[in-house]
Amino acid sequence: TTKLLDVQHLCVDYEAENGTVHAVNDVSFTLRRGEILGLAGESGSGKSTLAYAIARLLRPPAIITQGKALYYSRSATELAGTPQKNQQQSTTMPLDVLHASAKQLQQLRWNEISVVFQSAMNALNPVLTIGDQIIDVLHTHRPAMDKRARRQRVNELLDLVGISADRQYSYPHELSGGMRQRAIIAIALALNPELIILDEPTTALDVVVQREILTEILHLRTQLNFAVIFITHDLSLLLEVADSISIMYAGRIVETGSRRDIYRHPRHPYSYGLLNAFPSLIGPKRKMYSIPGSPPDLRNIPSGCAFRTRCPLAFTACPQHIPALRPYQAEEKETQETAAVACHLYDPAYREQAPDIKEIE
Ligand code: SF4
Ligand code: MG
């Protein structure tokens, strides 16, 4: 499988009352073509900000202060404006989304990257029928398509997401919550994007509906092979559907692995806490464990490891150094290159001083 997105050292800040909020801190990860990556973490851990930054949808006062998001698409070479004379040169030139021009962004959106905000009511235009909203997207981005072809595409898309064709004449308020979600997915898929970013609603949408939508997305992914970044605080949902999972804390990724790696053997004490904060539905029973305290103020992040104020295993090195994401030996072949954990417990340099990891196993 090939790389689709390579995020490197991304940082996002914004000015707030009494200081600068460090919402995303030095985040790096790789997404492969067709992969479903779940981003988990408590609210305020930087998940949405990270996704918005990648989609270039951040609004002031949030600013990207550092980093790259290299996007490798089949058409990225064109997007980057590189002449394609040299046919032998088959390596794709990635486009750095974080530094893309307005014109390049216009090309990227919908065509390559679609963002689905799950607050479905706000994402749809209340005065346009579902069909007309899809037609709008096609009209803007595929001006060469004729009226008949557009109509046909609308039918195709609705069929794909399980909405009957006669529903294209319905207005959003005439549809159920689940149906509106499907309509949004149909719009997101209109131009065959390679990446879909799904952000969970802050107000809890019915868990049943969320699961339904994800099942739908999974099913469509097997047909269309797009990649997905799915953002949620519900780790149990990710354990069912994601290929890989990244767990965020205080704006950083603290652990990345396959869902099996994360489920069977969470390395980071925070991941362990998240996994054991809810009763297990699948697999072995675990001891219920709750993480004391609450996430830190992002204007004033603790020195060293940001989790140390809540970590039952914190030791001398923890306040002194920020733990880097270090690769670990993953059990899953697919994540052997990307599995990593940011915790001093796994750093050989601190093995002597570190408490026994067994305490959390
Ligand atoms: Fe806990 Fe230290 Fe690991 Fe942070 S680095 S998670 S404080 S043991
Ligand atoms: Mg959020």
- Residues 289-346: tens digit of each pLDDT: 678 888 999 999 999 999 999 998 999 999 999 999 999 887 777 667 789 999 999 9
| CA 191 to centroid of ligand 2, rounded, Å | 26
DSSP-derived letter for residue 283 is: S
Work out the number of other CB atoms within 10 angstroms of the CB of residue 3.
Answer: 15
**Are 215 and 195 spatial neighbours (Cβ–Cβ below 8 Å)?**
no
Nearest-ligand number for the alpha carbon of 202: 2
Q: Find, among 70, 30, 65, 33, the residue nearest to 251 by Cα.
A: 65
CATH 3.90.550.10 fits 3-83+92-112+193-283, yes or no: no
24-53: per-residue pLDDT in tens?
999 999 999 999 999 998 888 999 899 999
Helix axes of 207-224 and 177-189: crossing angle, nearest 10 degrees: 30
For residue 90, the model assigns a pLDDT of 47
Binned at pLDDT 50, 70 and 90, residue 87 comes out as: very low
Percent of the chain with pLDDT over 70: 85
Distances from the Cα of 345 to the Cα of 37, 184, 336, angstroms:
25, 44, 20
Separation of CA 303 and ligand 1 centre (Å): 12
Ligand nearest to the CA of 322: 1
